[in-house]
Amino acid sequence: MLYPEGKKNKRNIGEKSVQMIEEGLNLPRGSMDGIAGAGTTIPDEIEYVGKVRLGAVPVVGEAALGVDGMIQMEEHPAGWLQIYSADPNAYGLRVRGDSMHPRIQSGEFVVIEPGTRVQSGDEVFVRTTDGHNMIKVMTKMRDGAFQLSSINNDHRPITLQQTEIDKMEYVSAIIKATRFVATADVSEE
């Protein structure tokens, strides 16, 4: 029974052996194979080991969506979004304006995950080397150039060379304002 995998004459543990082990250890019948028998009880409570991750992404500022999808940013700690992100560097921005309407409504938040790889078709936060900020859809990438489109068809796509982009980060979520908790409302526990 204890032979390594693939060794000749290896056998699985049989029913009689399982029954003898269960009886010898005073275990309820079926406890070794996961079948809950009449004598098996399931606890009513769950005990957590460690800390449960409730999810909180810091909001680092506010972005006003403007002409051509450019946004003006005010960077200041504002609070937290009640959402979990596996990216430890994730952050949120409150969005004002309507250049990404109807996809992103004024007053909603976006969660940005710098550690997630961007692919064509993804919504992205872009900061250009000359300091412009925008939220766009990265629609094409060719010969070191990126085509960035708006959801709002009133704004034409723009093309930027890779050398013109300071950072391009993945927008993982659009969050309603009800998921925002101001810093002043967070208890110190």
Q: What is the pLDDT of residues 32-86, one digit of tens each?
A: 665 444 455 555 555 545 554 567 898 887 776 655 545 556 666 778 899 999 8
Residues 27 and 111 in one domain: no
Residues 41 and 64 in one domain: no
In a domain, 51, yes or no: no
Residues 41 and 65 in one domain: no
In a domain, 68, yes or no: yes
Predicted local confidence at residue 52, as pLDDT:
45
Residues 98 and 173 in one domain: yes
Residues 79 and 35 in one domain: no
126-144 burial, b for 16+ CB within 10 Å, e for fewer? bbbeeebbbbbbbeeeeee
Domain range holding 17? 12-46
Residues 39 and 61 in one domain: no
Residues 25 and 107 in one domain: no
| Other Cβ atoms within 10 Å of 158 Cβ, number | 17
Q: What is the pLDDT of residues 11-31, one digit of tens each?
A: 667 778 778 887 888 877 777
Predicted local confidence at residue 95, as pLDDT:
85
For residue 110, pLDDT over 50 is answered with: yes
pTM of the model: 0.64
In a domain, 172, yes or no: yes
Predicted local confidence at residue 26, as pLDDT:
82
Residues 97 and 157 in one domain: yes
Residue 158, domain CATH? 2.10.109.10
Residues 39 and 64 in one domain: no
In a domain, 2, yes or no: no
- pLDDT, average across residues 166-174: 95
Residues 111 and 140 in one domain: yes
Predicted local confidence at residue 159, as pLDDT:
92
In a domain, 32, yes or no: yes
- Domain count across the chain: 2
Residues 116 and 26 in one domain: no
| 106 vs 166: which has the higher pLDDT | 166
Residues 74 and 166 in one domain: yes
Q: What is the pLDDT of residues 113-155, one digit of tens each?
A: 999 999 999 999 988 998 888 888 998 888 889 999 888 778 7
